[in-house]
Every structure is written in structure tokens, then in C-alpha cells.
Amino acid sequence: MASDQPFSKIVTDENLMETAQHGSRNYPFAFYYEDLSLFDFNCVEWHWHMELEFVYMESGTMTFWIGEKQFVLSQGDGLFINSKILHRFYSSDGAVIPNFLCMPSFIAVQDSLIYNKYILPVISSSLEFQIFKREVKWQAKALELIKQIIAVQEDKAFCELATSSLVQKLWLEIYENSDMNNEKDKVNAAVSFQARLQIMMQYIHENYTHDISLDDIACYAGISKSTVLNLFRKYLHITPIHYLIHYRLKEAALLLVKTEKKIATISDETGFHNVDYFCRLFKKHYCLTPTQYRKKKALF
């Protein structure tokens, strides 16, 4: 179940891979009942994991980004995210999103006939995600299976066996109906671009308190400045410098809520060495001054 504490967040390593283990070695499945309003700024930031992920929109609306694509999901929709795919969630209205994750080996033992014939082709394909809508017959069936998997988590007597059976049925729907174009060169190129983007994002996360230039980011990633710009615009729909500024503002907002540090101190600690400039940017981004933001959050 989702925590009652605000400011939840996804913890990642230097490559933006989520560090949390979902499930256990002998039962690699985990269910979560989450409200995005309990996450930092209603957002699950960029991350990826080895597990397959399934999301159901119980209420609200949610914008999600997968690589260079951006979509909006509404109540009743569902989503599948393939293994190793970089993604991000955001909801302005605090969407409630029951979701579950499982390793591909949860469906069938790795290197078995079923794994090699029905699972490996999907996780190795160009299929990054699949949206489920009630208007499409096979997707409606998938949504019903997702809801059954969520419901059965309350059944303490047969939960594991029922979950395993239902996940296999859900996987069969995906395998039979999804487009899994196996253009290896295209898939490998996308993986390479994503890896470079992850490296650059993590560099910004680790060095945002310092002065960072486009040259610095390009040099660290070992690519040209034009390639840096193209990757950020294509996958994140933002320039690297604007990404840096937004990340600094988000960290500043957290410090305003979690500490009693002075505005000038927070400005300096988050890489804004001119407090007036920091205050102008903060108000433009959050529609509140830093002081107003701190007071508003203190009421909750």
C-alpha cells in the first residue's frame, strides 16, 4: 500500500535504474497501491527497472513519458511497460494507480521453452509499452485481467497461485496482440541513445549545485553538443540547460519544505548564486514565491 507520508520518491543508481527490489528471489512479484499526490510534486521521476510493469488508472488522469513519447491516461485505462524502458509519471490531480511489477521469469522459468518462445521475443523486441483502452476488445480483456490480479492480492489463501495464473493469461493477450517489430538495429540504437541520456541526466543530478555548461555535459557523455541537444529534445522535450534549471528548482522546493534554511542559503546550495534570479525563476515555475510556497506546504 502507498505510504501515508508525503514526498515519496523513486531511488535510482547512477544509471537511473531503480534500486528497490520488487518481490523476492523465489516470488519476483510485487503489488503497490499508490497515489501520485504522495510523491514529490505528484511525480515519479525518470527511472527504469528489469521488471515488467502494469498500471491501472483507478482514478484521476496521469501523463506518462516513455522515451521520446508522451501520453495521457484517464480513469479506467491501463498500461504495460516493458523491461529496461526509461519512463516517468506525473499527475496534477493525484491519480490513484494500483500497479504491479514482476520479473519476466515470474511468468516462466528462464531458458525454458515457454520463456524462449513467448517471453524473450517480447522483452527483446522494439515494444516499449502498450496502452490498454476499454474500447478495444482485446485490451478490454487485458484490463479485466489486470483488475482481477489487483483484486486477488487481498486473497491470503490462494494469492500467489491465482496471481501466477492470471499474469500468464495477461501475458498471452499481450503476446498475441501487440506489435513486436524486431528491427535489431533500430532497437539497439534506441537502447544506446537511452543509455547516453541516462548518463547525462545522472551527471546533472550529481552536479546541479555547481556551474554546469552544455560543454560539460557533452564532454562527460563523450558526444557532441548538438547530439546532447537532440537527445534531450527528442526524449525529454526540453533542453539540457532547462532540465538542469528545473531540477535545481525541484531540489530547492524540497529544501523549503523539509528544512528551515534561509532563502538565500537554499538558492546558493541549489546552484543559483543570485537570490533575486532564483526567486524570479521559482515564482515563474511554481506561481508562488519561495516564502509563499513554504507557508503553503506548512499547512498540510
How far is Cα 32 from Cα 12, in angstroms, rounded to an integer?
18
pLDDT at 184 > cutoff 60: no
Which residue in this structure is represented by grid cell 527504469? 48
**Per-residue DSSP letters for 174-204?**
HHHHS-----HHHHHHHHHHHHHHHHHHHHH
How confident is the model at residue 3, as a pLDDT? 37
CA dist 76 → 16, 71, 259 (Å): 29, 15, 39
Percentages helix, strand, coil for the chain, rounded to the nearest 5?
Answer: 50, 20, 35
The CATH 1.10.10.60 portion of the chain extends over 185-298
Question: How does strand 129-132 pair with strand 78-81?
Answer: antiparallel
Superfamily of domain 185-298: Homeodomain-like (1.10.10.60)
> pLDDT tens-digit profile of 250-267?
999 999 999 999 999 999
Q: 4-18, 231-245, 282-296: which has the minimum mean pLDDT?
A: 4-18
The CATH 2.60.120.280 portion of the chain extends over 29-182
How far is Cα 93 from Cα 113, in angstroms, rounded to an integer?
45
Residue type (1 letter), 16: L
How far is Cα 274 from Cα 103, in angstroms, rounded to an integer?
47
pLDDT at 111 > cutoff 50: yes
* 256-259 LR contacts (CB < 8 Å, sep 24+): 256/290, 256/293, 256/294, 256/297, 257/7, 257/293, 257/294, 257/297, 257/298, 258/7
How confident is the model at residue 182, as a pLDDT? 56
pLDDT at 39 > cutoff 90: no
Architecture of the CATH domain 29-182: Sandwich (2.60)
